[in-house]
Amino acid sequence: MSRPVDQAKNAEKFLADTVHEQRLDKLLWAMRMRRDAAARQVPEWEDLRSLASAIKEHTLSNLSDYLIQFEARATANGVTVHWARDAHEHNQIVYDLLAEQGMNLLVKSKSMLTEECEMRPFLERRGIRVTETDLGERIQQLDDQPPGHIVGPAIHKTNKDVAVLFSEKYGSDPNNEDTAYLAGVMRENTRPDFLTARAGMTGANFVVAETGAIVVATNEGNADLSANTPRLHICSVGIEKVIPTTESLAVFIRLLARSATGDTITQYTSMFRGPRKGAAMHVILVDNGRSARLGMKRFWHSLKCIRCAACMNTCPVYRRSGGLSYGSTYMGPIGIIMMPTFEIRKYSELPFSSTLNGSCSNVCPVKIDIHEQIYGWREVMEENDQIQVVKKEAMRVADKVLSHPALYQIATATLSTALEVLPHFAIYSRLNAWGKHRDVPDAARETFHEWYSTHRLRANEEVRS
Amino acid sequence: MNSMQVLSRNTILGAVRASQPAAQPMPTIPHFHTNKPADLAAAFCASIARMAGVVVTEDVPDLDSFLRAKFPNAKVICSAIPEFAGTIKPASFNDWSEASTIDVCILRSPMAVAETGSILLSDMELQVNTIAFLAHDLVVLLDAQQIVSNIHDAYEHPHFKQRQYSVLMTGPSGSGDIGGVVVHPAQAAKTLTVLLSPAPNAGKRTG
């Protein structure tokens, strides 16, 4: 049985290096600001969010019919549709497709699903070289790390980190940290694989039941190159990615890039309905726990996710600790509510890596009640006794104080005095994992209750008199 | 489909059927024309400029001299439009990886989107899909009459229901994966230039 991932402890390494921490925080917050600006440009933004949520809820509540419709249409277009119950079955299907034609190189674009299935090591152990062609994903592959962010996998790395890594792996100039130069190194080194690989792979952002199409959004053109250059295109997709129609696709395309980076659209929004003459296209529909999640009354809404990462960019915990600290395929607020459905004990601590400020739910383009689900998972962990004793004790104390107004007032009134006199270890103790590495702001000279009783009560009395 | 595949398919569909919540209705999707720009061409130009695409609005009477002036070092010019010969036609490529020899590729798009600055291309216009991705520079002709207002309108184009491959392309390839700063190019075209030029069969819309 896996030990629970201790996200707060994992974050210590990242936090110890202030350059990376402050840079990531600033970068992601800028992305959040760009998202806000982009949303303000669209008068119907809130209508689009409501529509997206309703379309997803409609599709997920009729999912079996839409999957069957997609299969029929895609098959009619010349696509071979496969079904994989779990990660192993998915990986085996991919391997068999490659092995039966003696292929030993796969060029692929970014897919969080293949990360979830740990497909790369599976294929590599069987002698197939896999080249990630998304810049961020390739950086992480070369550095032997999983993605740290679902949209920008290497966003936590500085230009210097990449310059050093590329010089080690590609022999480029370790002192040239120019972004365009580094992207050029990637282009030069990836192009030969695009031209020689006989198989390419993509994920999918959306799957359109009505037309049997898969839709992929990228900025680099690497998905179009991976799918179009070789004669074999394999597409892996989670069953929850189905949407009913091309008409409904428009709603999601208008929301996706704006929510992710603040751009109106990605450079390439590509639709693959079938193979060209003389080529083959295979779509693998993957369950891997999704059908079980669909049956969880409190948590099935997380299947609406379109992987924009807006919740991650806005989350103060994610921004200050980096994606790798979650020790999971999906990270940040959306990861917290998805990962326990894969392995409850391993991810039992993740729901506590949140301030429950609700910002994640407010920016979610498909209106997933993320912070409420995080709270729901805390309750599940409590019920299932999955919480560490120390965390449980802290919660017990908090619960007692918060449920007794008198105790709460005493506690807050004494805080400012306490902060002056309490030794450092008492404030930043193990009972408060998030106090570590964070300066507690100076306590207000008077509490709200003190202020209210001196000002408002007096003002009210004056009004009355 | 082998027996294992049939088993997996039926297991997944059975599990989904057992799990899915009570059916919820499909909403009606409006096209949101409340914010429709008065000048679609101007809105398209502003949108594509944000994504590093370039639009030439003045008339280009001689495509050959335009290309020679803009890309003086180009040797291989692939033309996917009937009215211009170029140095090579897409049909010449036996293997689609051979398109990597192209310096400049010239195409015609049947539709563009004012909201996003995207142009539509499909396997019908491209013939060899890789020419738009392996070529260094792209020049795309577009009839200004074929610019639609927003993405809702765009997805009504028949290509999305009929073509095996179609793409809404918005500027040259780029990446923001290092340091969050978008740089061009990434893996595909280095530049994208759109020439506003009436379709040869002007008056008859293709889409």
Instruction: Tell me, yes or no, whether A364 and A405 share the same domain.
Output: no
A55 is a domain residue: yes
For chain A, positions 283-342, list CB contacts with chain B under 8 A: 285, 287, 291-295, 297, 300
Q: CA angle B186-A195-B92, nearest 5°?
A: 105
Structure-block tokens of residue A2: 């896996």
CB contact under 8 A, A271 and B134: no
A212: closest CA of chain B, how far (Å): 9
Q: What's the CA gap between B143 and B200, in Å, rounded? A: 9
| Closest chain B residue to A193, measured at CA | B97
Instruction: Tell me, yes or no, whether A341 and A276 share the same domain.
Output: no
Q: What backbone torsions phi and psi does residue A235 show, to the nearest 5 degrees?
A: -125, 125
Strands (E) across B114-172 are located at: 118-122, 137-142, 147-148, 165-169
Percentage of chain B lying above the pLDDT 70 cut:
97
Structure-block tokens of residue A101: 């034609």
Final residue of a structural domain among A337, A352, A385: A385
CB contact under 8 A, A225 and B100: no
Q: What's the CA gap between A58 and A392, in Å, rounded? A: 38
- Map tokens 């419709």 to a residue: A69
Sequence-ordered list of residues with C-beta below 8 angstroms from that of A199, at least 6 positions apart, any chain: A97, A98, A101, A103, A105, A106, A107, A230, A232, A233, A234
Q: What's the CA gap between A35 and A257, in Å, rounded? A: 9
Structure-block tokens of residue A182: 């580094």
Closest CA to A125 of A142, A144, A139, A104: A104
Instruction: Tell me, yes or no, whether A125 and A25 share the same domain.
Output: no
Q: What's the CA gap between A162 and B179, in Å, rounded? A: 10
Q: Is the pLDDT of residue A222 over 70?
A: yes
B73 is a domain residue: yes
Instruction: Tell me, yes or no, whether A241 and A312 share the same domain.
Output: no
Instruction: Tell me, yes or no, whether A339 and A397 share the same domain.
Output: no
- B54 beta partners: B193
Q: What pLDDT digit, counting tens, does each position of A153-167 carry?
A: 999 999 999 999 999
Instruction: Tell me, yes or no, whether A222 and A343 share the same domain.
Output: no
Report how many domains make up chain B.
1
Q: Strand pairing of A129-132 and A105-108?
A: parallel
Q: What pLDDT digit, counting tens, does each position of A62-120 carry?
A: 999 999 999 999 999 999 999 999 999 999 999 999 999 999 999 999 999 999 999 99
CB contact under 8 A, A273 and B163: yes
Instruction: Tell me, yes or no, whether A120 and A35 share the same domain.
Output: no
Report how many domains make up chain A.
3
B167: closest CA of chain A, how far (Å): 4
CB contact under 8 A, A85 and B96: no
- pTM score: 0.89
B206 is a domain residue: no
Tell me the residue range of the domain where B140 lies.
Answer: 37-175+182-196
Structure-block tokens of residue A22: 């402050």
Instruction: Tell me, yes or no, whether A73 and A185 share the same domain.
Output: yes
Q: Which of A261, A285, A294 sits opposite B19 (nearest CB)?
A: A294
Indicate the residue type of A18.
T
- Map tokens 């999971």 to a residue: A328
Final residue of a structural domain among A385, A402, A425: A385
Q: What pLDDT digit, counting tens, does each position of B71-93 carry?
A: 999 999 999 999 999 999 999 99
Q: What is the pLDDT of residue A58?
A: 98
Which residue of A267, A269, A276, A341 to mutate against B (max B Cβ within 10 Å)? Answer: A267
Give the pLDDT band of residue A13 (cuts 50, 70, 90). Answer: confident
User: Using an 8 Å Cβ cutoff, are A139 and A154 in contact?
Assistant: yes
Residue A49 is inside which H or E element, if any? Answer: helix A45-61
B129 interaction partners in chain A (CB closer than 8 Å): 224, 228, 276
Give the pLDDT band of residue A409 (cuts 50, 70, 90). Answer: low
User: Does any CB of chain B come closer than 8 Å to the CB of residue A29?
Assistant: no
Residue B13 class from Cβ within 10 Å (0-12 exposed, 13-18 middle, 19+ buried)? Answer: buried
Q: What is the mean pLDDT of each run of 10 residues along chain B (207 residues)?
A: 92 98 98 91 97 95 95 98 96 96 98 98 98 98 98 98 98 93 94 94 51
User: Using an 8 Å Cβ cutoff, are A412 and A449 in contact?
Assistant: yes
Tell me the residue range of the domain where A245 lies.
Answer: 42-288
B5 is a domain residue: no
Which residue of A156, A219, A286, A367 to mutate against B (max B Cβ within 10 Å)? Answer: A219
Q: What's the CA gap between A93 and A84, in Å, rounded? A: 8
Q: What is the pLDDT of residue B204?
A: 47
Q: What is the CA radius of gyration of chain A?
A: 25
CB contact under 8 A, A292 and B15: yes
Q: Strand pairing of B118-122 and B112-113?
A: antiparallel
Instruction: Tell me, yes or no, whether A348 and A202 share the same domain.
Output: no
Q: Number of C-alpha atoms within 13 angstroms, CB side, residue A448?
A: 1
**Best-predicted range by mean pLDDT among A52-56, A403-407, A438-442?**
A52-56
Final residue of a structural domain among A385, A416, A449: A385
Q: What's the CA gap between A16 and A178, in Å, rounded? A: 26
| Complex ipTM | 0.96
Sequence-ordered list of residues with C-beta below 8 angstroms from that of A92, at least 6 positions apart, any chain: none
CATH number at residue B157: 3.40.50.10420
Sequence-ordered list of residues with C-beta below 8 angstroms from that of A161, at least 6 positions apart, any chain: none
- Map tokens 């303000």 to a residue: A40
Q: Calculate mean pLDDT across residues A144-151.
A: 96
- A131 beta partners: A107
- Judge if the upstream peptide bond of residue B90 is cis by omega within 30 degrees of 0: no
